[in-house]
């Protein structure tokens, strides 16, 4: 191995010719050529596949069985033993089971997809387009934003356009390079038709004329992700997917099919995890955001007391300890825009008809709790009062007071049981968390707003 290094260094770094290196180290020039082709000794290399006198004629049949198995459920795929039995019984194979098992194991190992740790060296970028709703001239409309990201440093540049066009694609690059003050070594894309005319059979891309001209001017290399392989440009969205995979689910049986339904709304989980990351106090050492999953609830805790009263999370102008981190997560659509996260949580909880979320501040930490479904009859009084208050907050944020009817819809209470909703409203009013919108209105038409409205 030491000789390998010395020979390769002499030729690659010192600039010796292969013949001069052979004379210096006393080895054959052909050996020098071999050392230059491999950075480490390659070991024994077969010049042709091994001869299988008994199995050879049956290899195409085995390969066909393995290929067909890829489209079948795992429990319906052939085992090595079953393949051997089929060869023996249906095709007259006279060999042993061991050579069949060895071949099948090698083929399956060779066909497995391999994953390597994701690392981002400096000087390389990623580009993609996203969509969002924006208000322009008082009118809400869809905008398309060009996102340029440097994964090594997490630096990002985003610019919005009215449409995802070739002009926007080119102008986005020009603007990003001007903002960066330079050009990256390479840029990773998905297979957008703005850059790629078609993918050839060998995996090479036929590029569009405009993209080729852009490359020729700025002289950067392009790289393309595999079609339908989002993990080629992995982001922290995987954290939310991991948590959702751990959460309990319910199985619902319909008329003919059964399906699995998450016990907690994914959007609510994502928002609360993002909030824990964004609002954590980095000055608190030895602690970080924590997600605890129980049979009946999920608790998400971060170090640091909130900068806003927990009762006013939904209406108070947002304050963030880590605005740079918050801005980056909003750009990648991991969390909602400023001030619109907790109302999304409450809205999703009501949609799933779950108990109201709980926000508390235990010993210098902030904790958000999502509860699993529980019938109204089994809820504690505090849970009902909190649900009534948050429902009033949500209604008020949309310029609508809370009514007996809206509260019945929130809890799924039938109209004939409107007295139940009236009792909940009375308890919340006595607790001081809501108040009548207009005192002089009759009880039947009474509307309510949060205490701070």
pLDDT single digits (tens) 294-328: 888 999 999 988 888 888 888 877 677 776 666 66
Strand order in the sheet with 155-161: 155-161, 139-150, 124-136, 186-189, 221-224
The pLDDT of residue 236: 34
Whether the Cβ atoms of residue 350 and residue 373 lie closer than 8 Å to each other? no
Rounded Cα gap, residues 133 and 143, in angstroms: 6
Q: What does each C-alpha distance from 85 to 73, 89, 234 come to in angstroms? A: 20, 6, 44
Q: For the chain, what percent of residues have pLDDT higher than 90?
A: 26
Query: Could you state, in order of their start, the residue ranges of all structural domains in the chain?
Result: 2-37, 56-111, 124-233, 263-450
Q: Predicted confidence band at 161 (pLDDT cuts at 50, 70, 90)?
A: confident
Q: Predicted confidence band at 34 (pLDDT cuts at 50, 70, 90)?
A: confident
pLDDT of 277-287, one tens digit each? 888 888 887 78
Task: Return the structure tokens found at 263.
Answer: 């016990």
The pLDDT of residue 441: 79
Whether the Cβ atoms of residue 390 and residue 312 lie closer than 8 Å to each other? no
Closest residue by Cα to residue 402 from 346, 332, 361: 346
263-450 topology per CATH: Heat Shock Protein 90 (3.30.565)
Average pLDDT for 63-75: 85
Q: Predicted confidence band at 243 (pLDDT cuts at 50, 70, 90)?
A: low
Q: Choose between 191 and 405: higher pLDDT.
A: 405
Q: Does residue 234 register a pLDDT over 60?
A: no
Q: Does residue 98 register a pLDDT over 60?
A: yes
Closest residue by Cα to residue 367 from 295, 275, 294: 275
Rounded Cα gap, residues 47 and 24, in angstroms: 30
* Global pTM value: 0.48
CATH number given to 124-233:
3.30.420.10
Q: Does residue 239 register a pLDDT over 60?
A: no
Q: What does each C-alpha distance from 327 to 77, 268, 324, 330 come to in angstroms? A: 48, 19, 5, 5
The pLDDT of residue 442: 79
pLDDT of 369-417, one tens digit each? 999 888 898 999 999 999 999 999 989 988 899 999 999 998 888 888 8
Q: Does residue 435 register a pLDDT over 90?
A: yes
């Amino acid at each position: 191995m030491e000789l390998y290094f010395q020979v390769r260094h002499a030729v690659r770094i010192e600039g010796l010719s292969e013949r001069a290196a052979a004379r210096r180290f006393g080895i054959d020039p052909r050996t020098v050529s071999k050392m230059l082709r491999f950075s480490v000794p390659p070991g024994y290399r077969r010049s042709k596949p091994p001869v299988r006198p008994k199995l050879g004629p049956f290899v195409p049949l085995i390969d066909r069985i393995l290929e067909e198995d890829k489209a079948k459920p795992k429990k319906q795929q052939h085992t090595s033993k079953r393949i051997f039995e089929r060869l023996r019984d249906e095709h007259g194979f006279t060999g042993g089971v061991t050579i069949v098992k060895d071949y099948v194991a090698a083929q399956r190992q060779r066909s497995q997809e391999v994953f390597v740790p994701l690392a981002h060296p400096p000087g390389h970028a990623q580009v993609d387009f996203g969509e969002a709703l924006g208000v322009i001239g008082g009118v809400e409309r869809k905008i398309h934003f060009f996102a340029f990201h440097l994964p090594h440093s997490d630096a990002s540049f985003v610019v919005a356009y009215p449409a995802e066009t070739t002009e926007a694609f080119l102008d986005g690059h020009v603007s990003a390079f001007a903002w960066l003050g330079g050009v990256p070594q390479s840029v990773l894309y998905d297979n957008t038709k703005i850059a790629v005319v078609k993918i050839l059979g060998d995996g090479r891309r036929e590029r569009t004329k405009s993209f080729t001209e852009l490359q020729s001017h700025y002289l950067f290399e392009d790289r393309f992700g595999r079609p339908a392989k989002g993990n080629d440009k992995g982001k922290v969205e995987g954290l939310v997917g991991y948590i959702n995979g751990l959460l309990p689910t319910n199985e619902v049986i319909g008329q003919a099919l059964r399906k699995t339904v998450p016990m907690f709304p994914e959007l609510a989980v994502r928002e609360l995890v993002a909030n824990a990351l964004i609002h954590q106090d980095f000055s608190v050492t030895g602690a970080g955001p924590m997600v605890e999953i129980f049979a009946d609830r999920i608790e998400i805790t971060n170090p640091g007391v909130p900068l806003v009263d927990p009762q006013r999370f939904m209406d108070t102008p947002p304050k963030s300890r880590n605005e740079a981190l918050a801005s980056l997560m909003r750009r990648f659509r991991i969390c909602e825009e400023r001030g619109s996260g907790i109302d999304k949580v409450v809205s999703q909880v009501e949609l799933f008809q779950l108990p109201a979320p709980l926000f508390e501040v235990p010993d210098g930490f902030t904790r958000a709790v999502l509860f699993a479904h529980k019938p109204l009859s089994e809820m504690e009084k505090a849970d009902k009062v909190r649900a009534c208050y948050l429902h009033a907050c949500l209604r008020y944020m949309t310029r609508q007071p809370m009514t007996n009817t809206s509260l019945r819809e929130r809890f799924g209470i039938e109209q004939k049981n409107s007295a139940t909703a009236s009792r909940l409203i009375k308890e919340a009013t006595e607790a001081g968390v809501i108040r009548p919108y207009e005192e002089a209105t009759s009880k039947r038409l009474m509307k309510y707003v949060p205490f701070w409205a």
